Amino acid sequence: MTAYSDFKKYEAVLAHCQSSANSELYRNAEDYGKAAGFFDNRNHLTQTGSDLAHILLVDEVRHNRIAA
């Protein structure tokens, strides 16, 4: 993985956590992500978080293709 793709994955999961936690605060999103098992105690993506990122990013690509 490249640093860019790792960053995109992290961003996608963090945005999902912000939406799910109904908060734009970074800390609340991190706490939600940890509780859901998406981030570890060092705020790195877990395997579950990485899998979620893949789903979110594929969905984003599909949505963009349909909109184009």
Q: What does the pLDDT look like over 11-64, one tens digit per residue?
A: 999 999 999 999 989 999 999 999 999 999 999 999 999 999 999 999 777 777
Query: Would you say residue 68 has pLDDT above 70?
Result: no
Name the domain count of the chain.
Answer: 1
Q: Whole-prediction pTM value?
A: 0.87
Beta bridge partners of 66: none
Residue 28's domain spans which residues? 3-67
CA distances from 29 to 14, 40, 44, 62, 65 (A): 6, 13, 13, 25, 28
